[in-house]
């Protein structure tokens, strides 16, 4: 990762407008068709949350803006993507950064090993030199979406979802996607969600 001059990027105007805004976060809501993931999870014995995290990483991997992160008064550029998941540990929760790999098998191995380590130790697993896409799955609860807090120190994009919903012929999952306006405008954020839907539908095992 490295600090870059915002004026030399396509986010120069957004940096000037939104870096000092009191509430620079934007949230989009989308209902995803996760029929394919639910079927693969059930038939192949793969964790649904792992498959979701991989698809998020795959969509972020192809989204140029998601390699940039506003931090303090700087703009940081990353070369690698990771996906963060929340892990139940020791009666509470902790977080786990999983490096994204285009190889799903490798990502799954890392996901299982790292989340188990966090669950066992209760300590977070952080990757400092990765652009981290945050996630939180409230898989036991029916929610339509969430707007996360903004503390001014964690500007990373963040996706939240609850329990998926079985319809007659398909399975749906409402998702909220929160991001810093310096990093993304609405159109590229919506395109990212379209890429995520495409990754979900196109995943084959």
pLDDT score for 24? 95
pLDDT score for 15? 94
For 149, phi and psi rounded to 5 degrees?
Answer: -70, 160
Whether residue 89 is predicted with pLDDT greater than 90 in this model: the reply is no
Q: What is the CA radius of gyration of the chain?
A: 17
| Tokens describing residue 200 | 């979900």
d(CA 87, CA 72): 27
pLDDT score for 150? 87
Average pLDDT over residues 186-200: 98
d(CA 61, CA 65): 10
Show Cβ contacts of residue 8 under 8 Å, excluding neighbours closer than 6 positions: none
d(CA 57, CA 97): 11
**What sign does the CA torsion over 113, 114, 115, 121 have?**
positive
pTM, two decimals, is 0.96
pLDDT in tens, 34-76: 999 999 999 999 999 999 999 999 999 999 999 999 998 999 9
**Mean pLDDT for all residues in the chain:** 95
pLDDT score for 163? 96
| Percent of the chain topping pLDDT 70 | 100
Whether residue 170 is predicted with pLDDT greater than 90 in this model: the reply is yes
Q: Provide the 10 A C-beta neighbour count for residue 80.
A: 15
Q: Where are the domains of the chain?
A: 2-202
| Percent of the chain topping pLDDT 90 | 92
CATH fold, domain 2-202, is: Chloramphenicol Acetyltransferase (3.30.559)
pLDDT in tens, 100-120: 999 999 999 999 999 999 999
Q: Provide the 10 A C-beta neighbour count for residue 41.
A: 19
pLDDT score for 184? 95
Whether residue 171 is predicted with pLDDT greater than 90 in this model: the reply is yes
């Amino acid at each position: 990762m490295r600090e870059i001059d915002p004026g030399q990027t396509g986010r120069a105007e957004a940096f000037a407008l939104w870096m000092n805004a009191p509430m620079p976060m934007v949230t989009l809501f989308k209902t995803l068709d996760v029929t394919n993931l639910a079927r693969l999870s059930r038939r192949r014995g793969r964790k649904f949350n792992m498959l979701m995290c991989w698809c998020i990483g795959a969509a972020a991997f192809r989204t140029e803006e998601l390699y940039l992160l506003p931090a303090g008064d700087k703009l940081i550029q990353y070369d690698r993507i990771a996906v963060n998941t929340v892990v139940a540990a020791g009666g509470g929760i902790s977080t786990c950064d999983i490096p994204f790999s285009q190889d799903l098998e490798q990502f799954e191995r890392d996901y299982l090993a790292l989340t188990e380590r966090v669950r066992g130790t209760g300590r977070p697993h952080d990757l400092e030199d990765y652009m981290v896409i945050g996630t939180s799955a409230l898989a036991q609860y029916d929610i339509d979406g969430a707007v996360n807090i903004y503390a001014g120190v964690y500007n990373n994009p963040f996706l939240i979802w609850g329990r998926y919903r079985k319809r007659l012929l398909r399975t749906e999952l409402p998702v909220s996607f929160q991001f810093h306006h310096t990093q993304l405008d609405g159109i590229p954020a919506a395109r990212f969600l379209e890429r995520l839907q495409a990754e979900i539908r196109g995943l084959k095992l």
